[in-house]
Amino acid sequence: MKQMAKDFATKAHQGQTRKNSNVPYITHPVRVAERLEKEGFSDELICAAYLHDVVEDTPYEIEEIEKTFGSRVAKFVAAHTEDKSKSWDERKLHTINTVKHAENDVKYLIVADKLDNLLGLEHDLKTQRETVWNKFNAGIEKQRWYNQSIAENMYVGVDPKDVPEYFAEYADTVARVFG
């Protein structure tokens, strides 16, 4: 099922590239999935990692994900999908609240995604400097607020024995990028 999810996402994101580069978009969901697989999470969560941006950034709908991969995978993808009809602030506040109140698997997916995005941003800042911020819908102050809020809320309700290693990496990366 994981290979099927990877293939589905690869097809869905065909021709898309990462922000600030010509790198194929699929490299991002692949890294998120690999991070979750390394932590030993369920096949459903790994599939959701491959698929996490499909509904948000391609013509595919959540019903297609559910039909092909089942309700649990679709639930994870849906919990992570932003409603693009809302403002940037509304979407980000919703994600922060989701991280604060969601079940652990949803938190694991969102934080793995945000960590990969932030590591990419950190790299871009080193090579492209401050011009990187021109490609974002929100500037550095709002990005700082958003990422610090995710870091502050990701541990809520998670038993310390269930905290994956990359949560600390995310907090450290937020501190490096935003001071």
Cα 151 to Cα 36, 49, 62, 88, 177, distances in angstroms? 18, 19, 27, 18, 13
Let me know if 57 is a catalytic residue: yes
Instruction: Return all residues near 117 (Cβ < 8 A) that are at least 6 apart.
Output: 28
The size of the chain, in residues, is 179
Name all contacts of 48-51 with Cβ < 8 Å and 24+ positions apart. 48/5, 48/73, 48/76, 48/77, 48/80, 48/109, 49/109, 49/112, 49/113, 50/2, 50/5, 50/6, 50/8, 50/9, 51/5, 51/8, 51/9, 51/12, 51/77
User: Checking phi first, is residue 83 left (phi over 0); if not, alpha (psi -120 to 50) or beta?
Assistant: beta
Q: Which of 34, 39, 43, 56 is catalytic?
A: 56
Let me know if 44 is a catalytic residue: no
Q: Which of 57, 82, 152, 169 is catalytic?
A: 57
Catalytic (active-site) positions: 56-57
